[in-house]
Amino acid sequence: MAIQIKAEKRDKTGKGPARRLRRAGQVPAVLYGPDVREVCLALDKKEVNRVLKQGENVIFEVTYDSEKWNVMIKELQIDPVTDELYHVDLVQISMDKPIRVYVPIHHVGEPVGVKSEGGIADWMTREVEIECLPRSIPEAIVVDISELHVNQALRVEDITPPEGVKIITDPETVLVVIEAPVEEEVEEVKEEEIIGEEEEPEVIRKEKEEEEEKKEGAAEEEE
C-alpha cells in the first residue's frame, strides 16, 4: 500500500512563517506538476523521513483539503549547519505516463582483475537515468562485475535493464574500470629517492678532499 501523507495548505510564505513551521515539527513544501497548479504545503517532518527511509524515487500520496495526488520528492534542501530537513519540492506523477528518473547501480561479484590480478576497481558513476512507468521504477539496477579483468571496463551498453525500463544515459558511459596495479611504480620511485640521497654525501666528501689538498699545498709552500 502506498504511503499517505496528510498535508496542510499554507497561505503564508517567507522565512518567518517557515521558521515557525520547523519549530512545530513541520517542513515547508511546494507541490507542482502537469495536472496541478503550484501550491505551498506544510508536511509533518516524521512522515517525510518515513518516505526517505523507503529509498529513492518513492511514490506516495499527498492529501490536503479535498485534493489527493501521487507525488515524488523532486528535491530536498538540508540545513548545512544543523543537518535538518529545510524544504521539500514535490512533483505530481501521472501513473499512466512514463517518467525519467535516476536509479543507483548496485554490483555483485568481485572482479577477477582485482581478485587475481591485483587491480583496483575505479567507479566512474554509480547511477543511470531511466525511463519507464512509475510502477516499474526499480530500486536499483544490479550488474555482475566478476568477469572484469585488468584494463577492462563495464559500460552502460553492457547493462540489461528490467522489463519495461529504458536506459537514457549514453551507452558509451563507463560505469567501472579495473585499473592496473601501481605497486611496482611506487617501488621504483622509492629506489630513485634512495639513490639520490646517497649521492649527496659523496659530493661533500670530494669537497672536503679538495680543501685538504689545498691546505697541504699551502703548508708545503710555507716550508
Across residues 27-56, what is the average pLDDT? 92
Q: Which residue would you say has higher pLDDT here, 212 or 138? A: 138
Strands laid side by side in the 166-167 sheet: 141-144, 99-108, 127-132, 166-167
User: What's residue 190's pLDDT?
Assistant: 60
Residues 89, 73: contact at Cβ < 8 Å? Answer: yes
Across residues 64-86, what is the average pLDDT? 91
Q: What is the mean pLDDT of the chain?
A: 86
Rounded distance between C-alpha atoms, residue 30 and residue 19, angstroms: 15
Q: Is the pTM of this model over 0.85?
A: no
Query: Which triple of cell numbers denotes residue 201?
Result: 654525501
User: What's residue 2's pLDDT?
Assistant: 75
Whether the predicted pLDDT of 213 surpasses 50: yes
Helix (H, G, I), strand (E, B) or coil at 10: coil
Class of domain 4-92: mainly beta
Q: Which residue would you say has higher pLDDT here, 153 or 193? A: 153
Q: Residue 223 carries which side chain, given as an amino acid letter?
A: E
Strands 4-6 and 26-33: unpaired
Contacts for 150-156 with beta carbons within 8 Å, 24 or more apart? 150/113, 150/117, 150/118, 150/119, 150/178, 150/179, 150/180, 150/181, 151/113, 151/119, 151/177, 151/178, 151/179, 151/180, 152/113, 152/177, 152/178, 153/177, 153/178, 156/128
Of the chain, the percentage scoring pLDDT greater than 90 comes to 65
Whether the predicted pLDDT of 199 surpasses 70: no
Q: Which residue would you say has higher pLDDT here, 203 or 32? A: 32
The band of 49, judged by pLDDT with boundaries at 50, 70 and 90, is very high
User: What's residue 12's pLDDT?
Assistant: 76
The band of 193, judged by pLDDT with boundaries at 50, 70 and 90, is low
Rounded distance between C-alpha atoms, residue 121 and residue 153, angstroms: 9
The listed range with the strongest mean pLDDT (33-42, 83-92, 124-133, 179-188) is 124-133
The band of 16, judged by pLDDT with boundaries at 50, 70 and 90, is confident
Enumerate the domain spans of the chain.
4-92, 99-179, 192-223
Query: Which triple of cell numbers denotes residue 37?
Result: 497548479
**107-156 confidence digits (pLDDT tens):** 999 999 999 999 999 999 999 999 999 999 999 999 999 999 999 999 99
CATH architecture of 99-179: Beta Complex (2.170)
